[in-house]
Amino acid sequence: MSSPGNGRRRRTRVTLRQVAEEVGTSQSTASRALAGHGYVAEDLKARVLEAAARLGYVPDISARTLKGQASGLIGLLVSDLRNQFYAQLAAGVEQTVAAAGHQVVLVDDHGESEHAARAARAFLAMRADGVLLAPTGREATELLVEHGTPVVEVDRRSGARSCDAVTIDSEAGARAAVEHLLQLGHRRIAVVVDETMWDTGKNRLKGYRAAHREAGVPLSRRLVLNLGLRPDDPQRDVAAFLDANPDVTAVFAANNVMAEAVWQEFKRRGAEVPGRYSMVSFDDLTWMRVVEPGLTAVRQPVYEMGSRAAELLLERIAGGTERTATRTLDPTLVLRGSTARP
Amino acid sequence: MSSPGNGRRRRTRVTLRQVAEEVGTSQSTASRALAGHGYVAEDLKARVLEAAARLGYVPDISARTLKGQASGLIGLLVSDLRNQFYAQLAAGVEQTVAAAGHQVVLVDDHGESEHAARAARAFLAMRADGVLLAPTGREATELLVEHGTPVVEVDRRSGARSCDAVTIDSEAGARAAVEHLLQLGHRRIAVVVDETMWDTGKNRLKGYRAAHREAGVPLSRRLVLNLGLRPDDPQRDVAAFLDANPDVTAVFAANNVMAEAVWQEFKRRGAEVPGRYSMVSFDDLTWMRVVEPGLTAVRQPVYEMGSRAAELLLERIAGGTERTATRTLDPTLVLRGSTARP
DNA sequence: TCCGCATATGGCATCGTTCCCATGTGAGAA
DNA sequence: TTCTCACATGGGAACGATGCCATATGCGGA
């Protein structure tokens, strides 16, 4: 590999100037040789490249960025990396961003918008070329947009002023799920949500209601279990709810966290699925197709959402499209064994 | 928030010089005021801070880094973000790194060491303060160490020259799992692995063998199903293996991917667990405690491994410890319903 | 012969911060 | 009075890469 015999840590990094001196030319010429544009004689260029490789030259992004070039960094802000949903999203983003030769700076705001704002400031400070946000407030988006950083919102929309967005049609997904239950003959369908402050939760509830209205089935406030943000022990709350509403025959869980709580509670009380309860989850994770019976679920193209958002952001950075674009992806209802007639 | 009425994109970012001019002082003084060290009169300092906030000043990390300061970036290289194992790891790392005021640059090498080497070069180029690697070859580690970047290897060790590492005791975990099966009376225990080139796979196989030796149960090559890296369709291979070895009564899956393949194949052929087969997984994911029966599994403290590795790296960056440290975390065997006497 | 142009190379200012150093003040000590 | 020292401020040189501009040469066409 690189220069032998140079003990452990190199004291200072190899700079372009050193490479230039090695071949007896100027920084300018060496720069052109490495960059591959501008006039450089073929043989000189080869010698510069060889020297750069031999000395282990690595260009300094800070200097390049300072001079006004792109930093090559894309910020990505998610709410909870431990949740498979966001992990998939991040994977999709990383894949696309890396393929374009950029790097992802990942921040997890744990659902706190204050933390998100801090992250936005950090993205600004590092001169990120663009940022992808699963927003938890409009502050971060606004800060970035105002400073001229391209932003694409993913999954959720902050309602902040114009920026691109890639989301999944929550309302349609929820409607399909609940329609399915209604068609099977269920009339008292519970819905379990943890947040209704962002458009994901709001729209899933909206879809739930729309399906009822369309089917002419009356809605009841009682059947909406709203646990609020980051509930301590959702399973306990679900248990209490089921005890209080013994007439419920089906449950629609608005996201994977809720689905797990509901499923575990069914298991704990030995309630048969789909015998006693039918169940549908919004979001389709590994475990839902592995359990017996499999969970009927609204599958979201999460990985794809990540990569589409990244593509959109890269286009925006390249300065392509002018007016802001919103892309909505369609979820699909995957039928498995957890749903049947009541 | 910041200055009102300034249309959309600010054309240029606010620099320290502009803040200084705003309060009628010099860059030097403004810098000291913001940095909070060196002599600055109290009232002047307050005015600088106020002006910085009012103008929406965000320091430029590139310039700071170029001047020789830390970049605040920590590189993290994982093999497959879609795998919950690495997502948990990344979450643990992010949490700890963010708490220390740094940012994580995340790269997924998809198990390709060539990709890993490219990532290492990128980390070098952006002057990452330190790097965490789940190595897929020694090249990346060596490149970074040689350039003087602190490196901590996580989960796997590359065997490259001295750098810190945080791993989980694969051999002990595997031994515990297989001992459990042996104690239940199993004598023909299959082991399913996909890689034996890194120490994780190697050591799990070692633990499997050690347990047999200790129990005085003869080993058979036939019972080792080695699928090799990234098998096309592991479930099919497992099926073929089970057909060819009908005397097997228990299966030890060496990681979560193998466990899923084995589990799905059991389900497909309607083989009762633990009636026909007992099963243990190395790595304990959500679905394993949700399925019926629950999977007996070797639980790895993955999130903790991530945060411990990050802590170690931060210490190393701070220049604390001198000699390299290796930390090994202990896995625990979680008994559930998938294991019983043959 | 002279101009224009493609080719080739080097000098140097620039990006925004940091920090060393020079400069300056006033108070208290010698 | 003069020296010292703590306090306070500004000038300006780095850091490393980039790219504009000046310079130089040789060749073909007018």
pLDDT digits over A221-275, tens only? 999 999 998 899 999 999 999 999 999 999 999 999 999 999 999 999 999 999 9
In this prediction, residue B4 carries a pLDDT of 31
- Residue A225's alpha-carbon distances to A189, A214, B6, B342, in angstroms, are 11, 21, 44, 45
**Arithmetic mean of pLDDT, B27-45:** 93
**Arithmetic mean of pLDDT, B6-35:** 84
**Chain B CB within 8 Å of residue A337 CB:** no
Q: What is the mean pLDDT of chain B?
A: 93
Per residue in B224-237, is it b (16+ CB within 10 Å) or e — as a string?
Answer: bbbbeeebeebbeb
Which run of H or of E encompasses A263? Answer: helix A256-268
Structure tokens at A313: 């952001």
Quick check: A134 and A79 in contact, CB under 8 A?
yes
Query: Under 8 Å CB-to-CB from B191, ≥6 apart: which residues?
Result: B178, B204, B205, B208, B223, B224, B225, B251, B252, B253, B254
- Between CA A27 and C1' C2 the distance (Å) reads 34
In this prediction, residue B5 carries a pLDDT of 32
In this prediction, residue A11 carries a pLDDT of 59
Please report the beta strands in chain A, taking only residues with DSSP state E, as ranges in sequence order.
73-78, 103-108, 130-133, 151-154, 164-168, 189-193, 224-226, 250-253, 278-282, 296-299, 326-329, 332-334
Confidence of residue B10 (pLDDT cuts 50, 70, 90): low
In this prediction, residue A37 carries a pLDDT of 87
Nearest-by-Cβ selection for B10 from A62, A122, A147: A147
Query: Under 8 Å CB-to-CB from A134, ≥6 apart: which residues?
Result: A77, A78, A79, A86, A89, A153, A154, A155, A156
Quick check: A330 and A115 in contact, CB under 8 A?
no
Q: Is B241 helix (H, G, I), strand (E, B) or coil?
A: helix
Q: In chain A, what residues touch B60 (CB-CB under 8 Å)?
A: 66, 125, 127
Quick check: B269 and B238 in contact, CB under 8 A?
no
Distance CA B204, CA B189 (A): 14
Distance CA B20, CA B31 (A): 9
pLDDT digits over B319-335, tens only? 866 778 899 999 999 99
Q: Is A247 helix (H, G, I), strand (E, B) or coil?
A: coil
C-alpha R_g of chain A: 26
Say which DSSP state A295 is in. Answer: P
Distance CA B153, CA B76 (A): 10
Distance CA B151, CA B145 (A): 7
Low-confidence ranges of chain A (pLDDT < 50): 1-9
- Tell me whether the omega of the peptide bond preceding residue B274 falls within 30 degrees of 0, making it cis: yes
In this prediction, residue B316 carries a pLDDT of 93
Q: How far is B267 from chain A (nearest CA, A)?
A: 9
Pairing label, strands A73-78, A278-282: unpaired
* Residues A193/A196/A201/A202 CA torsion (nearest 10 deg): 130
- Between CA A189 and C1' C12 the distance (Å) reads 75
Q: Which residue is nearest to nucleotide D12 (CA to C1')?
A: B28
Confidence of residue B159 (pLDDT cuts 50, 70, 90): confident
Interface test with B, best of A114, A139, A144, A287 (most B CBs within 10 A): A287
Query: Could you give all domains of chain A from N- to C-terminal order, each with its CATH number?
Result: 16-59 (1.10.260.40), 73-168+302-330 (3.40.50.2300), 170-300 (3.40.50.2300)
Task: Give the angle B194-B156-B280 at the CA atoms, nearest 5°.
Answer: 45
- Between CA A25 and C1' C7 the distance (Å) reads 17
In this prediction, residue B7 carries a pLDDT of 36
Q: Which residues 301-320 of chain B have a CB within 8 Å of chain A? A: 303
Confidence of residue B13 (pLDDT cuts 50, 70, 90): confident
**Contact assignment for A147 to B13 by CB distance below 8 Å:** yes
In this prediction, residue B55 carries a pLDDT of 94
Query: What are φ and ψ of residue B75, in 5° steps?
Result: -80, 140
pLDDT digits over B172-181, tens only? 999 999 999 9
> B73 pLDDT exceeds 90?
yes
Say which DSSP state B161 is in. Answer: S
Distance CA B86, CA B78 (A): 6
Q: Which residue is nearest to nucleotide C10 (CA to C1')?
A: A26
Pairing label, strands B278-282, B130-133: unpaired
